[in-house]
């Protein structure tokens, strides 16, 4: 399975600021996704990160709030913009290798907005 490095692992941010989370994979993967897990809740898909083009967002998530980049097959970033305390969550990167459907997850970024 791919080794996924997600940074930062945790952060405490002031409201109104933005945080960029990085996801680096040690091998080329077909699909990269970003998920959010609000406190005490399950995981919800934010978007599919598409290489070289705009991400595909799920209902309820918009590009202005969660801009995503994927410049190549091994790296993606998620930015949480203009943060409010409601954005306090764990954000997780997930990958699926080519020809497979099994998903693997990074260790997550625990974000607290104060």
Partner 1 sequence: GIQVEQSPPDLILQEGANSTLRCNFSDSVNNLQWFHQNPWGQLINLFYIPSGTKQNGRLSATTVATERYSLLYISSSQTTDSGVYFCAVYSGGGADGLTFGKGTHLIIQP
Residues 58-87 that bind partner 1 (CB under 8 A): 58
Place of tokens 């590009």: 63
Q: Which is nearer to partner 1, 9 or 82 (CB)?
A: 9
Q: CB of residue 14 vs partner 1: minimum separation in angstroms?
A: 22
> With binding defined as CB under 8 A, does residue 37 bind partner 1?
yes
Q: CB of residue 90 vs partner 1: minimum separation in angstroms?
A: 5
Q: Is the peptide bond before 76 cis (omega within 30 degrees of 0)?
A: no
User: Torsions phi, psi of 7, nearest 5?
Assistant: -135, 145
**Number of CB atoms found within 10 A of residue 112's CB:** 14
Task: Count interface residues toward partner 1 (CB under 8 A).
Answer: 25
Contacts (Cβ under 8 Å, ≥6 apart) of 84 = 15, 16, 113
Give the interface segment with partner 1, choosing from 15-23, 40-48, 67-75, 77-85 (CB under 8 A).
40-48
């Amino acid at each position: 399975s791919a080794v996924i490095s997600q940074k930062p692992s945790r952060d405490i941010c002031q409201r109104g600021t933005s945080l960029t989370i990085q996801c680096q994979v040690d091998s080329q993967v077909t699909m990269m996704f970003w998920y959010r897990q609000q406190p005490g809740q399950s995981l919800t898909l934010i978007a599919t990160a598409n290489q070289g083009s705009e991400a595909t967002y799920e209902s309820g998530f918009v590009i202005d709030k969660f801009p995503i980049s994927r410049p190549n097959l091994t790296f993606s970033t998620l930015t949480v913009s203009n943060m409010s305390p409601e954005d306090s969550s764990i954000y997780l990167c997930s990958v699926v290798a080519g020809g497979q459907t099994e998903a693997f997850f990074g260790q997550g970024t625990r974000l607290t907005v104060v």
